[in-house]
Amino acid sequence: MKPARSPVARAVVGAFADAPVSDRFHVWYRWASCPFEAIEAAVPRTGRVLELGCGHGLCSLHLARTSPHRQVLGVDIDAHKIPMARAAAERLAATAPVRPLDVTFEHRPAADGPPDGPFDAIVIVDVIYLMDTATKEAIVGACADRLAPGGTLIVKEMGDRPAWKLALTGAQERLATGMLGITEGGSPDIEPVDRLAPVLEARGLVTEVAPLGAGYLYPHTMLVGRAPH
C-alpha cells in the first residue's frame, strides 16, 4: 500500500472531495493499491492519450496533471462514474498550474469498442481481467491498431507470482464485481498479462513486461508495446 504522498497525487485524490463517501474511499484505496506513478512514467509526455476503462478517472487525471502536453480521453462503460470523473477534473483544474486541464471523459458502451485513433498512447489499467481470453485479445489488438506510428500501448494487469497475491486479487475482484457491484463487467478471469504479448507482436509492436508489485498487496505487472515509427 502506498498512499498518495506527492503533491500531484494528493491533488488528484483530493479532487474527489465532493464525491459520495463510498466513492471517496474507493478512490483513496485505488490509489494506495495501484502503481499509477509507475504507469505514468511509461506514458509519452506529449500527444493524444486514451485510457480505456477509466472508471472514476484517477489514472486519466494523473496523466493530464503531470504533463500539460498530453490530451487525455478517458472512456468507461459505467455511466455512474463518468460524472464524478468530470467533476473531479473541474476541481483539479482549479488548482493546476497550467489551465485548462486537457482531459475529457466519455461514457462508452462496451459494444462500441475503443474510440477511433490514432493515439500516441493507450492505457488500460485493471480492465481486461473482466473479459474472456478471446475478448481480451480482440480489445488489445484493436487498441494496437489505433496507435499512431511510434505509439505506446500499456496494459496493467496482474502477474501470477507470488501465488498468494494472485489469490488475494481474485478474492477481492469477485467481491467487487459480485456482492458490492463496485466494478461493472463479467466475472473475473485473471491471467498473467504477458500472455497478451504475442497479440501485440503480431501487429509489429515491440513488447516488454515489467513487474510493479513491490510494496503492494497485488502482483501488478505492466505489458508495454511500442509501435514502429
The 10s digit of each residue's pLDDT in 23-41 is 999 999 999 999 999 999 9
Q: Kindly indicate whether the domain formed by 7-226 is annotated with CATH number 3.40.50.150.
A: yes
The 10s digit of each residue's pLDDT in 152-167 is 999 999 876 655 555 6
Query: What's the confidence (pLDDT) of residue 96?
Result: 75
For the chain, what are the domain ranges?
Answer: 7-226
Please compute, for residue 76, the number of CA atoms within 13 A of its CA located in the half-sphere on the CB side. Answer: 26
Q: pTM for the whole thing? A: 0.89
Secondary structure class of 171 (helix, strand, coil): helix
The 10s digit of each residue's pLDDT in 76-113 is 999 999 999 999 999 999 887 766 789 999 999 988 99
Exposed/middle/buried for 59, CB within 10 Å: 0-12, 13-18, 19+?
A: buried
